[in-house]
Amino acid sequence: MNIFKKIYCRIFQTIFRVAIPFLPYREPQILENTNDVIKTLKKNNIKSVLLVTDKSIRNLGLTHELENSIQNNEIHLVIYDDVLPNPTIKMVEKGLEIYNKNDCDGIIAFGGGSVMDCAKVVLARKVKPNKSVKKMKGLLKIRKKLPPLLAVPTTAGTGSETTLAAVITDDETHFKYPINDFSLIPHYAVLDYKNTLDLPKNITASTGMDALTHAIEAYIGRSTTKKTRKMAEEAVKIIVNNIKIVYDEPHNKDARENMLKASYYAGVAFTISYVGYVHAIAHSLGGQYGVPHGLANAIVLPLVLKVYGKTIYKKLGKLAKISHIASENDSDEIACKNFIDYIIELNKYFNFPNYIDEIKEEDIDLLASKAEREANPLYPVPKLMNKKQLEKIYFMLLKKNEEEA
Ligand SMILES: [Zn+2]
């Protein structure tokens, strides 16, 4: 990247870092049990509630108890269960139409990141009826309080229940982009591990890797605070101690509870300290080919960390030491390398490939420009990269590398 662009990016990031104490960050109120949802709906005087979810969650029966108790308490229940992974503008508009038609006055988002993100943007469109989803892209385009939003995560990964971000895909251009606004932080987060017990193994692994990526990217970036460093450290320690357990023993309650906590901590960390190129690349792959977000992150993470090189020795080395992936006496360089090897080993454990099957060589130019546009100048990454440098990472992700190896 040329020096002028670098200076521009770093000044932009410094302004945001200096502004952190003055910005209206908040955390959702935590509810530990799904049964507390009814009390909360009543407290907020909600007469008609939209339950945003997806078909597989409903088919698993996860929402049944809640649906019954809403109806038994004479609150009008409307269900929108057509959200799919990588939610699109069309899905948001459909949700809004149902919300308006039924005079809803709040949303319960019951699901993974896609469901929560879709619900956030439905409410953003509700309070900004004249602003299209496309126009909400980027930073602080909503700036208006949303009706009550209760987030009930069913995966331990996205952290969307606490973040100010919602990631939406444009149906036509396949551009997948984050919308960031303080008003998108849910008012309530229901951290009930029981909702995660039936999560399939591969999703348990990929969403767990998403949470790990949030914690790492927030921590190695240049806009951390004392609080976000602490949150990210805690998240990494918990994930390292629990991710294989939840994968091997899906019904291990303690491990599930711990992962949900870690995912939340990582969410708090990156909502203030941002993510980095791993996410920008993962979003481009999700938008273009529908690659699941957590899986894309897991595969891209070690490659980007290697490219960051010595700029992250100290910070990633520290994460390795506090989570006992490296010993106290190891040099920062060795500890950092140990952490990257650990991630590669985890990916193998989960049977994740080390390439992205869907990438076509001719798409790399477009993919890299999308990632570049998302990350620069916003993400305070440890080492700035331009489009050409990002392209190299996509080439490393091609399947043919695997075949040649
Ligand atoms: Zn993520």
Containing structural domain, residue 153: 32-196
Distance 214 CA to ligand 1 centre (A): 6
DSSP bridge partners of 177: 168
Q: How much is the pLDDT for 22?
A: 87
Distance 163 CA to ligand 1 centre (A): 10
> What are the residue ranges in the chain where pLDDT is below 50?
none
Give the pLDDT confidence score for residue 44 in this predicted structure.
97
How many A from CA of 197 to the centre of ligand 1? 21
Question: Quick one: 203 and 341 in the same domain?
Answer: yes
pLDDT at position 401:
72
Residue 92 sits in a domain of what CATH number? 3.40.50.1970
Q: Which residue has the tokens 């409410």?
A: 123
DSSP 184: G
208 and 312 share a domain? yes
Ligand 1 centroid vs 338 CA: distance in angstroms? 23
Specify the DSSP element, H or E, that contains 167: strand 165-169
Distance 169 CA to ligand 1 centre (A): 14
pTM of the entire structure?
0.95
Q: How far is the CA of 263 from the centre of ligand 1 (A)?
A: 10
User: Is 362 contained in some domain?
Assistant: yes
What DSSP letter does each residue of 42-92 carry, written as one string?
HHTT-SEEEEE-BHHHHHTTTTHHHHHHHHHTT-EEEEE-B--SS-BHHHH
Centroid of ligand 1 to alpha carbon of 39 (angstroms): 31
Whether 27 is covered by a domain: the verdict is no
Distance 400 CA to ligand 1 centre (A): 26
Is the separation of the CB atoms in 107 and 148 below 8 Å?
A: yes
Pair (209, 62) in one structural domain: no
Report the separation in Å between the CA atom of 282 and the middle of ligand 1, taken as the mean of its atom positions: 8
Q: Which of 377, 395, 402 has its CA nearest to residue 1?
A: 377
- Which pair of structure tokens corresponds to residue 38? 């009814």
CA of 69 to the centre of ligand 1 (A): 32
pLDDT of residue 350: 98
Residue 308: other Cβ atoms inside 10 A: 22
Compute the mean pLDDT over every residue in the chain, rounded to the nearest whole number. 96
The residue to which tokens 């700036």 are assigned: 143
Among candidate residues 152, 180, 196, the one where a domain is terminated? 196
Q: How many domains does the chain have?
A: 2
In-domain check, residue 322: yes
Q: What is the length of the chain? A: 405
Contact assessment for residue 387 and residue 20, using Cβ atoms and an 8 Å cutoff = no
Which one of 166, 196, 226 terminates a domain? 196
Flag whether 385 is in a domain: yes
Residue 316 and residue 333 in one domain: yes
Rg (CA), the chain: 20
pLDDT at 27: 95
Dist. CA 113 → ligand 1 center (Å): 8
Task: Please confirm whether the linkage preceding 380 is cis (ω < 30° from 0).
Answer: no
CA of 44 to the centre of ligand 1 (A): 30
- How far, in Å, is the centroid of ligand 1 from the Cα of 213? 7
* Contact partners, residue 153, CB within 8 Å, separation at least 6: 111, 112, 116, 160, 161, 189, 190, 191, 195, 196, 260, 263
